[in-house]
Chains A and B, each alone.
Chain A
Amino acid sequence: MKVKRGRIVIFIVLTVIILGTVLSTTETIWGRITKGLDLQGGFEVLYQAAPNQKVDTDILNQTASAIRNRIDILGVTEPDITIEPPNRIRVQIAGVKDQKKAREIIGKPAQLTFRDPTGKKVLLKGTDLKPGSAKVGYDQSNQPLVEIQLTDAKKFENITRTYIGQPMPIYLDENQLSAPTIVQAIPGGRAQISGQESAEAAQDLASLLNAGALPIKLSEVQSYAVDASLGEEALRDSLKAGAYAVLAIFIFCIGYYRLPGLIAVITLIAYGYLVLLVFDALNMTLTLPGLAAFILGIGIAVDANIIMNERIREELRHGKSVRSAVKTGSRRSFLTIIDAHVTTIVASLLLFYFGTAAVKGFSVSLIAGIVVSLLTAVALSRIMVNLLVQSNLMNKPRWFNVKEDEISDL
């Protein structure tokens, strides 16, 4: 049979494109994926709304953004704050280098206070502000100012009367944010802080004041701190282990299945790459449970390749030609793989729907892994095997590790 060069060229080009893309972009994608605290170190605190107060998703969201404001103000980059209905908020700060500082920040939510001119005596607390009431306004000469509302108008009136003509500094913890002077006694529970340098400065102060007045009272139920170096060590160890495992799997696949094994290896590389891409696209955080699902996914993808190749070898042993063995073997194994994949997807969908936190993370990774496995281990593998078979290059059973004497005469 004449060897068809065109298909071999397509095969080689496909391989080069896959390997080239993987080699050139994996590092960037890997860098973009958020690693969980268990893999890169950091701090996590789980807050729960104290009992006997009205809590719903909206209130939780408001509270979460208030917490975000506080942490942003304190100069920590990109905290990950998620609400867990009905009544919890999880705050994570990853990859912190200064452990002590982060512990202090995350360990206790900042306290907003209005104090007397000496800065010693607390006159009002954040909770005396109406939640979400601080906003930017403008005076007659169009200068920016911050408007606030208080829950207890009478109390505020009394305080402003006592300290007339003196400043009443506003503190977040021990950081003074602003020190407005009280011009007159203020009745009615509404006040303005004038003299803002810019609209941005006014907005910052308004956010801070709102953040200081958390809509609900929270208590800390759980905290978790992984030293950055320990987290990095865990990730490095896992990656090293993964590299050896992948190497062993590759050697095994090629050693046992020969050419189709090599194709399996190429599709496995594509598999790993695409799963990372999905993690990146969905903005998922890679944690240990996610890693577990990733390993399971590799197993399932390898299995799909093995099932197909075993089926093809079986057909070859029955004396079929390579072409027809590949055709029948692919078709028959396809249904098997689909049934196994769909069953696992059905189960993971249920896990996703009913599961929380770690269980959800696991099921999302698993679903992603199986869908990608369908694309690579099933579709891509078939395309590549068919390219080689139809080129007439791979036309001997021994390419599939089937010896002549194993083939039964029909």
Chain B
Amino acid sequence: MTYNIDFVGKRKLFFGISVLLIIAGVVSLFVQQLNLGIDFVSGTRLDISMGKAVNIDQSKKLLTDLGYTEPNARVGGKQADVLIFRTSQTITATKVSAIEDAFNKQFATKVNIQSQVVDPIIGRELARNAIIATLLACVAIVIYVSIRFEHRFAIAAVVTLFYDALFTIGIFSIFQIEVDVVFIAAILTIIGYSINDTIVIFDRIRENFQKMQPKKWDDLANMVNESIRQTLVRSLNTVVTVLFAALALVILGGESIRNFSLALVLGLISGAYSSIFIASQIWIVWTWKSMQKKLESAKRNFV
């Protein structure tokens, strides 16, 4: 099986695409930010599951009657049977019971309420802690990969991992998909997968580099293309199998994990893409620059 795709030759195109995607994400992060879920915003969220289709107008009217003026309510759930109500007020347990009773009476049904009262500080602390822990984990990755491989592989791997995280966060910002605490776990998963995927390709590049000892750009480019080709079937097969799991969760998993699974799908695709089109390409450009420097200094010494 041979795939004659010139990955290295097209690197500028893919760098361009990648940079554009990241810029779009970053701009969106600045302009419209993330659609933060209740975990990061103070207040209460009630998921009232009705056991039948939600009548949004009547529900809103009922909430208004209960003293929650202009309620921020929407319909969710697979059968459109869940009323999601968010407010910046703190709704205590007794008030939840009052709402439950009112809904049972009004709609002649037995509702189930999932409630969440949040101090945003906790969610933000968790997010900040996750970011700090991840940054420290990146430092550890750089050190470990520098020892086992070399620093150029290490930096390229970490840049790639940031790309994957930023890409996913960017898409969530652009489409204003709600972000909650579980999203953090998804990002961590994406980073874990990205590093695994990148290391496998780097391992092959390292092996072929020692075997082929390229001196010219063409040889170097061929070597990297060859390494990517040799690992391509593995890359595709692995991402396909993991995507099975993630897609199944998106389609069949419940409401509560849909956004989480969606983040996984995006991140997994990005992880497979970036190992080939970003990590390997950063490495080759950087390595070639250092090789040129070495060659030049060698020339000078010779003359």
Contacts and interface: CB of A to CB of B under 8 A. Distances in A.
Given A248-B244, A296-B193, A347-B192, A225 B114 contact: yes
Given A234-B254, A237-B252, A302-B242, A296 B189 contact: yes
B119 A224 contact: no
Contacts, number: 230
Nearest to A310: B234
- Give the secondary structure class of A's interface: helix
Given A237-B254, A346-B144, A314 B230 contact: yes
B230 A242 contact: no
Interface in A340-397: 340-344, 346-351, 353-359, 362-363, 366
Contact of B253 (A238, A289, A300, A357): A238
Given A296-B189, A302-B241, A355 B254 contact: no
A241 B251 contact: yes
B86 to A, nearest CB: 14
B148 A339 contact: yes
Contact of B118 (A100, A103, A222): A222
Contact of B238 (A229, A244, A302, A335): A302
A104 B96 CA distance: 11
Interface in B170-207: 181-182, 184-186, 188-189, 191-193, 195-197, 199-200, 203-204, 207
Contact of A225 (B115, B193, B231, B242): B115
Given A344-B195, A358-B181, A107 B133 contact: no
A300 to B, nearest CB: 6
A8 B111 CA distance: 58
Given A252-B240, A252-B244, A306-B238, A356 B254 contact: no
Contacts of B260: 288, 292
- Which 5 A-B pairs have CB atoms at the shortest separation, nearest pair first? A289-B185, A299-B242, A241-B252, A107-B93, A245-B248
29 contacts: A103-B93, A221-B119, A224-B117, A227-B49, A230-B47, A234-B257, A237-B252, A238-B249, A241-B251, A242-B248, A245-B245, A248-B244, A249-B241, A288-B256, A295-B189, A295-B246, A306-B237, A339-B149, A340-B196, A341-B196, A348-B137, A351-B133, A351-B137, A355-B129, A356-B125, A358-B184, A359-B133, A359-B184, A363-B188
Given A222-B118, A252-B244, A347-B137, 15 more contacts: A103-B97, A221-B122, A225-B115, A234-B254, A242-B245, A245-B244, A306-B238, A310-B234, A344-B192, A347-B141, A349-B140, A351-B137, A351-B188, A358-B185, A359-B188
Interface of A: 38, 46, 99-100, 103-104, 107-108, 221-227, 229-230, 233-234, 237-238, 240-242, 244-246, 248-249, 252-253, 256, 288-289, 291-293, 295-296, 298-300, 302-303, 306-307, 310, 314, 332, 335-336, 339-344, 346-351, 353-359, 362-363, 366, 406
